[in-house]
Amino acid sequence: MTSPIRYTESHGASIAYQIRGNGPRDLVIIPPIVSHLDASEQLPGYTQLLDRLGGFARLIVFDKRGGGLSDRLAGAPSLEVRMDDLRAVMDAAGSKRAAIFGISEGGPLGVLFAASDPKRVSSLILYGTFARFRQSADHPFMPDNAQLERLIEQTVRGWGSGISMDLFAPSHSDVAESRDLFARFERSAISPSGLRRLWQLVADIDVCDVLPQVRVPSLVMHRRDDVVVDVAASEFLASQIAGASLKLLDGRDHLPYFGDCTGLCDEIAAFLTGERSAGQVADTRVLATVLFSDIVDSTAKAAALGDGPWRELLDAHDELAERLVRAYGGRVIKTTGDGVLATFDGPGRGVRCGQDFAAQVRALGLSIRVGVHVGEIELRGADVGGIAVNVAARVQSKAGADQVLVSRTVTDLVAGSGLRFEPRGEHTLKGVPAPMQLFALVG
């Protein structure tokens, strides 16, 4: 009997999920760019793969917001929002800690979640995925802008006719019945315009800087002749994630449900069965968004006001910061006399908090500069340390009055959030070995 499909709420959206299998460990599957919990059942290989995985794990599968049985909202959701959706699904399924299985476009979300919330991730499995989809100097094997545009136009124009089979399951391309099944799946999963929005999100994804912060046991798998994502993308992932195992499989089907999935399931089973031998996650080091703020011309203002009035003004400033940081789901680590250090579990929330803080503090007659960076921090009781804290402080020092300045890592991770930035060039930051690109928040 098919497992029931349930819903949970996240940021005002209904997220559809399903629990399958009864194994001793939880395995959350993050689907590829499109999915549909009902319609996928009709695709060849889908139920067989899940049944195999369900033999040694309790599977938690879901449709990401924007497609399938989950709410289809305007715009493309950011990775940060999707991380919250993933947490909501795990909470609803009663899963405190799970292995994460990111497939294709689901891989970057798995990477970001594993680095940001390691207490909830026992291990990470990546299949047929990538750190960034658009070609760059360190990713010459990915599509360039022209190739990417052709891919988007080709799939959007042919959506609903079974075109996804040619990309995702070419081993089935000669079977007429399969094309009809894929066509119906496409029409159920998402509309052509919705697909275009998701493709544009994929094109902007970049989690390269996050990879070294993944500290959970990791398995990277890829089919050697994958027709969508070059095998070099997984080789790059495995080279950047400490201790990651790379397993190359025969075949050209992009998605794991199709072609020969026996070897794939065997690799996952062996990896999950032996995961305890890899050791536990060091909970003292996590990926976080770090915000530093600083009052402009604080010394001159203090001298002009005198100690008493200046102290009162600083108290009002600190109270405003505490209230706003809490409202955006962050934590004030400490005040610095004329500024604030705070952390957040998502870059979009950190940037928006900085923007709101800079706007509201003007009512106190103050002007601040804000710097935001994403990186690995070290938890030291109530305090935090690490290179990411130093970088955020250096970024803040380059900001102008009433300006939120962010690192390139932040802009890469907020794709789809609606936040807009303008480049402010490369800067040499004290204590940072290489020049860093900085961007100013617009609007």
Identical fold at 5-278 and 285-442?
A: no
Tell me: the pLDDT tens digits for 54-90?
Answer: 989 999 999 999 999 999 876 678 889 999 999 999 9
* Averaged pLDDT, 391-410: 95
Read off the pLDDT band of 278 (50, 70, 90). Answer: very low
Tell me: the pLDDT tens digits for 340-373?
Answer: 999 998 899 999 999 999 999 999 999 999 999 9
Beta carbons of 111 and 124 less than 8 angstroms apart: yes
pLDDT exceeds 90 at position 109? yes
Read off the pLDDT band of 171 (50, 70, 90). Answer: confident
Q: Which pLDDT belongs to residue 1?
A: 47
For CA atoms 307, 308, 310, 315, give the dihedral sign: positive
Residue that is written with structure tokens 């959007």 in the block: 156
Domain-wise residue ranges, the chain: 5-278, 285-442
Tell me: the pLDDT tens digits for 292-301?
Answer: 999 999 999 8
CA 254 to chain centre: 21
DSSP 3-state of 173 = coil
Read off the pLDDT band of 280 (50, 70, 90). Answer: very low
Most confident of 105-109, 179-183, 297-301: 105-109
pLDDT exceeds 60 at position 276? no
Strands 339-344, 331-335: pairing is: antiparallel
Tell me: the pLDDT tens digits for 302-328?
Answer: 999 999 999 999 999 999 999 999 999
Of the candidates 194, 163, 166, which has an alpha carbon nearest to the alpha carbon of residue 33?
A: 194
Q: Find the DSSP H helices in 54-191.
A: 79-92, 106-116, 145-158, 164-168, 176-189
Query: What are 411's two structure tokens?
Result: 């802009």
> What is the pTM for the complete model shown?
0.84
Mean per-residue pLDDT over the chain, rounded? 91
**How far is Cα 133 from Cα 232, in angstroms, rounded to an integer?**
12
Residues with Cβ < 8 Å from 206, sequence gap 6 or more? 131, 132, 134, 412, 413, 415
Residues with Cβ < 8 Å from 227, sequence gap 6 or more? 167, 170, 252, 254
* Averaged pLDDT, 4-15: 95
Q: Which pLDDT belongs to residue 281?
A: 42
> Which CATH number is correct for 285-442, 3.30.870.10, 3.40.50.1820, 3.40.50.12280, 3.30.70.1230?
3.30.70.1230
| Amino acid code (one letter) for 376 | E
Tell me: the pLDDT tens digits for 12-59?
Answer: 999 999 999 888 999 999 999 999 999 998 888 888 899 889 989 999
Residue 76 DSSP symbol: P
Strands 98-103, 121-127: pairing is: parallel
Q: The domain 5-278: what is its CATH number?
A: 3.40.50.1820
**How far is Cα 138 from Cα 216, in angstroms, rounded to an integer?**
24
Read off the pLDDT band of 256 (50, 70, 90). Answer: very high
Q: Which pLDDT belongs to residue 277?
A: 34
Percentage of the chain modeled with pLDDT above 70: 96
